[in-house]
Amino acid sequence: MPVVTPAQLLLALAEHGSLEAGAAALGLSVDDARSLLRGAAVALKSAPALPAAAPSGKPPAAPARKPAAKDPGTAARATRAVGIRATGLVDAPDDHRARPAPGGGHRRLRVFSDGASRGNPGPAGAGAVILDDQGNIVERLGRFLGRQTNNVAEYEGLLLGLGRAHELGAREVEVRADSELLIRQLQGRYRVKNPELQRLHAEAMALLKGFSYVGLSHVPREENGAADEMSNRAIDEKM
């Protein structure tokens, strides 16, 4: 069973809406998830209770309020980042704002990736588009792959984008792709059976582990048009 804390499981439940979906996102069985929650409940039950009133008989003073964060999503981001570093990769809600990385560069980048194969297998290309936290395009990337399947091209597009994100100094990355197979395999929800895809999957996981935060999102094709354009340009122009 993966090492998962009760806080991470509760976060997964909040994000995915059910115990079954939350457990699956963390690589847990439903029984293991229930056991983890029971253990947390027992620990809370045995914790010492706070006094109902101060010794003077007056109600306890309210705790001092901390200054509000300038970005209301800061606390949520910190919780998600810890959970993802500890347990692996999960879907990423689109509510994060990147910060400049120390020494320049980009702290967080968004990578849209795609692959195209005309014939499957056939002439193939990999494409990726990298955006900063403001939605500005940082780079457009394309690579001609020769004769390949569509699934191989999808992985090659991801590797192209992730490799460049590392070079740009990103600490955190959000991956967006319209291949459900690619995203679910990266999340560990689908098995990788094809030997060639197993190799590419291993390369992708190695790159992803180099980031402090990773978000994985399956998006509709119409939201991935720029990466699709680059994968097809790679074929047409033999980039």
Which long-range contacts does 63-72 make (Cβ < 8 Å, 24+ apart)? 71/97
- The domain locations on the chain are 6-46, 88-237
What number of residues does the chain have? 239
Q: What's the confidence (pLDDT) of residue 66?
A: 39
Tokens representing 69? Answer: 């964060």
pLDDT in tens, the chain (239 residues): 456 677 776 776 766 677 777 677 667 677 777 766 766 665 565 445 544 444 444 444 444 443 433 333 333 333 233 223 323 344 444 333 334 444 457 899 999 999 999 999 999 999 999 999 999 999 999 999 999 999 999 999 999 999 999 999 999 999 999 999 999 999 999 999 999 999 999 999 999 999 999 999 999 999 999 999 999 999 999 99
Q: Cα separation of 46 and 181, whole Å?
A: 44
pTM of this structure: 0.60
Q: What's the confidence (pLDDT) of residue 40?
A: 63
Tokens representing 64? Answer: 């001092």
Q: What's the confidence (pLDDT) of residue 162?
A: 98
Compute, in degrees rounded to 10, the torsion defined by CA atoms 146, 117, 197, 175. Answer: 110
C-beta neighbour count of 181 within 10 angstroms: 16
What is the dotted CATH code of the domain comprising 88-237?
A: 3.30.420.10
Q: What's the confidence (pLDDT) of residue 18?
A: 75
In DSSP notation, 40-80 reads HHHHHHHSPPPPSS-TTSSPPPPPPPPPPPSSTTHHHHHHH
